[in-house]
Amino acid sequence: MFDDPALWLPFVFASLMGLSILIYVILDGYDLGVGILMPFAEEAEQDRMISSIGPFWDANETWLVLAVGLLLVAFPIAHGVILGALYLPVALLLIGLIMRGVAFEFRIKAHAKYKRLWNRLFFAGSLLAALTQGFMLGLYVLGLEVTLPNIAFALLTAICVAAGYAMLGGAWIVFKTDGALQRKAAAWARFGLAASAIGFAAISAASPLASPRIFEKWFAWPEILWLSPLPLLAGAAFLGLFVLLGRMPLKDDRWAWAPFIGGASIFLFAFLGLAYSFYPYVVPERLTIYEAASAPESLLIMLYGAVIVVPVIASYSALSYWIFRGKAAADLYDH
């Protein structure tokens, strides 16, 4: 394989793209989740929730830009097919991201009487972005075929992905705050976890049913034997996190980080399952990564850039989390 760049370069870029999507879903997922949870908090609590994501949310969205950029330059044919089929939800996603970005900045600078309006727009933008991402995932799982049953499934997936983001957002607030807000966030995250479990179960069932190839990959012998730990670990993570959130916060704020790590692990298991199901296809059942890839010479040149860009993005993201470690202060983004 490594003797032929036409084989290993598409795999490398598909892996980088998948890693970027996973990191984006976890990192921007929690700050979208914080936005979704805004209406359930009091005004003073909302200020602290915003402070908990303020230093990070711009950097979190960089991973989405990287993923889409990799799709465009490494798999241009797939880029056209996927974005062509998902044109409307992609447009709504961009509107949601723009809305929340504007609301985030304006709520800080606006007159006090308009602050509630910008908080509502921040919630609306966060919810719209989360729902559209879930809707696109649902259609992608079913092969980008736009039919009424597929749209109904995508709507279910949209709601459950938004609930999953709310779970991550609640877990993040548990980690970054204390007191009454921390206790509320644990309850919010627990509810989001229960709702998102429906979506994870639906996607797990729909993927093999939508494709005989995926069904064979998961249920043939002996594949079913060595793949069985993945759903078992995911189920254990759901159960363990549900129990842990019911006990939060613990004395002396112990294990405050654990719910977020547990939530991230659930998304990791889901991602691994989807990656295994759809490989080597970048457009389900239509285009493999090898058929959709750019010329090996182009990919090799772009790989040199990726070797520089990806560590830089990871480094400044890690640096921001290190600098702003600890509990969030309510006045970080106050007037």
CATH of the domain at 216: 1.20.1630
Residue 121, in any domain of the structure: yes
Residue 208, in any domain of the structure: yes
Residue 57, in any domain of the structure: yes
Residue 36, in any domain of the structure: yes
Handedness of CA 92, 95, 101, 105 (dihedral sign): negative
Residue 2, in any domain of the structure: no
Does the model's pTM come out above 0.95?
no
Q: Which domain holds residue 267?
A: 7-323
Domain count, the chain: 1
Residue 78, in any domain of the structure: yes
User: If the chain, 335 residues long, is cut into consecutive pieces of 10 residues, what is the mean pLDDT of each piece?
Assistant: 78 93 93 94 88 86 90 90 91 93 83 83 95 93 86 90 94 92 94 88 78 80 82 90 90 89 93 89 90 90 90 91 83 53
Model confidence pLDDT, tens digit, residues 303-330: 998 899 999 999 989 998 999 888 887 6
Residue 65, in any domain of the structure: yes
Residue 139, in any domain of the structure: yes
